[in-house]
Amino acid sequence: MNTLQSIVASVWDQVDMVLGWQPGYDPLHPVPAFVRDPKDIASLIWNPLCAPNLSVYLAKSFKAPTRGEKKIGILAKGCDSRSLTALIQEGLVDRNRLLIIGLPCPGTVDPDALTSVRTQSGPITDVSFADGMVQLTATDGVERVPLDQVLARRCQRCRHPHPVLYDVLLEEVVPRPVPKDPFAHVKALENQPLEARKAFWLRELERCLRCYACRNACPLCVCQDQCLAESRTPKWVTQKDTVADKFLFHMIHTLHLAGRCTECGECERVCPMKIPIGLLKEKTAHIAMDLWGYESGTDPAAQPPLLSYDASVNGL
Amino acid sequence: MRDEAVTITNQTESSLRIVGFLCNWCSYGGADTAGVCRFRQPPLLRIIRIPCTGRMDPMFVVKALIQGVDGVLVSGCHPKDCHYAVGNFYARRRLELVGRFLPFIGIDPRRFRYTWVSASEGQRWQQVVTEFSALIAALGPNPGFSAHVR
């Protein structure tokens, strides 16, 4: 039986470092781990609470090769592996630098949903997962909740729970079945009249703090030092807190990800104001699929549609 | 300051505004041809000359519409006639994408149009501007996103 630890230990001689998750400040929030010392391998964990997309660190912090020729090991769920593939497609990360440990994913848990469905009130001391159930151990007893009930929105619509790109696969978990209509949330909004859609976005984006957490958590938002949102020349958004400025910031993020977004949902997960900004990117992904039959992050050799063109007179 | 200037302009001239992004090599020449030929055109359009439609950032379209411009018209060389060979092929994909994205955020997609007009097509330019202006006039003013009161 291969466990996560045994797999990491078996590839340790090929890597300088492994990116994974370790227990965080409470049982509901595992945090990213950068394992550089083999004795820390034991601290790595993998469960449906390991939500952070680790590929965000690659283009931003580990672009250039470090000491020697060794690789960077990275744990990747289905969505994470799509982000990695997109980074490789655009030449932002070198495939040969990566050793990808694929994790078939049962879906990740939204800690807020979990908190709202539990009936106990005591602090949670332990969380475990078995047979599609989440078992919560709190100071006032044990409770079991179905995993399906507490899945994050991004996981309810996940098309690739099984990693699309990996070197080693951890065959421990059964991946979540693919839903019938991954774009159901987008379509639900589209079915409303134009005015209602505008009112929806004004209401939602009114809350935006412009903390840029969505941008920082995005694995494909790679030009952070030169981000248009903070540039003064050209000056796209002002320092005012009007909804128009907030809207413009989100348009920058969305349009720069058009045809690139792998729908990992990190922008939405990290939003402190719970704004469903993932919908904006899902819509662009939906358009790219409609127009060019393109699904970002599924083929390392594919060219993103907005970086290429159709040279016929009436084509697109 | 700028916002004040915009407000004053809006107050003094209450007419509608269309922003036109015109490629230097074809449509700008086409608009010039239309002017030289004294073809009558509605006065709503304000022209911004760009080096090529490949210069079009979809953000130009979105920012203009968010700020309350009533219409955005992008025009460039016909496909296969681009001065830079492929600029308008890239533009075509971006513009089509942004055009399909606009209704999702609650902006009427009819307020945005992209088209191809060559330098010799003064007549066609007149027709494009007249049709688009009539459409914008029928749609009325665009409230933009700034008008939202908290």
- The predicted-structure confidence for A240-255, as pLDDT tens digits, reads as follows 889 999 999 999 999 9
Claim to verify: residue A29 and residue A87 sit in the same structural domain: yes
Claim to verify: residue A207 and residue A256 sit in the same structural domain: yes
CB contact B90 to A (< 8 Å): yes
Claim to verify: residue A269 and residue A135 sit in the same structural domain: no
Contact between B83 and B77 under an 8 Å Cβ cutoff? The reply is yes
Contacts 24+ apart (CB under 8 A), A225-234: A227/A252, A228/A252, A228/A256, A228/B59, A229/A253
Claim to verify: residue A127 and residue A241 sit in the same structural domain: no
- Nearest CB to B106: which of A194, A255, A259? A194
CA distances from A137 to A124, A125, B40 (A): 6, 6, 78
- Measured between beta carbons, the chain B residues lying within 8 angstroms of A314 are 79
Confidence of residue B78 (pLDDT cuts 50, 70, 90): very high
Tell me if A184 is assigned to some domain. Answer: yes
Claim to verify: residue A91 and residue A58 sit in the same structural domain: yes
CB contact A194 to B (< 8 Å): yes
CB contact B108 to A (< 8 Å): yes
What does the pLDDT read at residue B12? 43
Claim to verify: residue A49 and residue A128 sit in the same structural domain: no
CB contact A248 to B (< 8 Å): yes
Confidence of residue B143 (pLDDT cuts 50, 70, 90): confident
Q: Domain limits at A240?
A: 4-110+151-307
Cis omega (within 30 of 0) on the bond before A104? no
Tell me if A120 is assigned to some domain. Answer: yes
Query: How many contacts (CB atoms, under 8 Å) link A and B?
Result: 103
Distance of CA A146 to the CA centre of its chain: 22
CB contact A187 to B (< 8 Å): no
Q: Which residues pair with A253 in a beta bridge?
A: none
Structure tokens at B111: 């307020």
Tell me if A313 is assigned to some domain. Answer: no
- So where are chain B's domains? 17-139
Confidence of residue B145 (pLDDT cuts 50, 70, 90): confident
Q: For tokens 């411009």, what's the residue?
A: B69
CB contact A130 to B (< 8 Å): no
What does the pLDDT read at residue A54? 95
Q: Do B79 and A309 touch (CB under 8 A)?
A: no
Structure tokens at A190: 């589209």
What does the pLDDT read at residue A159? 93
Claim to verify: residue A136 and residue A215 sit in the same structural domain: no
Q: How far apart are CA A80 and CA A93, in angstroms?
A: 14
**What's the fold here for domain B17-139?**
Rossmann fold (3.40.50)
What does the pLDDT read at residue B147? 53
Q: What is the pLDDT of residues A30-54, one digit of tens each?
A: 999 999 999 999 999 999 999 999 9
Pairing outcome for strands B71-76 and B18-23: parallel
Q: How far is A18 from chain B (nearest CA, A)?
A: 38
Nearest to B20 by CA among B133, B121, B102: B133
Contact between A213 and A270 under an 8 Å Cβ cutoff? The reply is yes
Q: How far apart are CA B86 and CA B117, in angstroms?
A: 16
Q: How far is A98 from chain B (nearest CA, A)?
A: 32
Query: Per DSSP, which regions of B51-145 are E strands?
Result: 71-76, 112-116
Sequential pLDDT tens for chain A (316 residues): 578 999 999 999 999 899 999 999 999 999 999 999 999 999 999 999 999 999 999 887 776 666 666 889 999 999 999 999 999 999 899 888 899 999 999 999 999 999 899 888 889 999 999 888 999 999 988 999 999 999 999 999 999 999 999 999 998 778 888 898 999 999 999 999 999 999 999 999 999 999 999 999 999 998 877 899 888 888 999 988 899 999 999 999 999 999 999 999 999 999 999 999 999 999 999 999 999 999 999 999 999 999 999 999 999 9
Tell me if A315 is assigned to some domain. Answer: no
Structure tokens at A206: 């009114």
Query: What kind and span of H or E run contains A139?
Result: none
Q: Do B145 and A197 touch (CB under 8 A)?
A: no
Claim to verify: residue A278 and residue A137 sit in the same structural domain: no
Confidence of residue B149 (pLDDT cuts 50, 70, 90): very low
* pTM of the predicted model as reported, rounded to 2 decimal places: 0.92
CB contact B2 to A (< 8 Å): no
Claim to verify: residue A136 and residue A212 sit in the same structural domain: no
Q: Do B62 and A255 touch (CB under 8 A)?
A: yes
What does the pLDDT read at residue A35? 95
Q: Which of A150, A175, A204 delimits the end of a domain?
A: A150
In chain A, the number of structural domains is 2
The ipTM assigned to this model is 0.92
Claim to verify: residue A137 and residue A23 sit in the same structural domain: no
Q: How far is A123 from chain B (nearest CA, A)?
A: 38
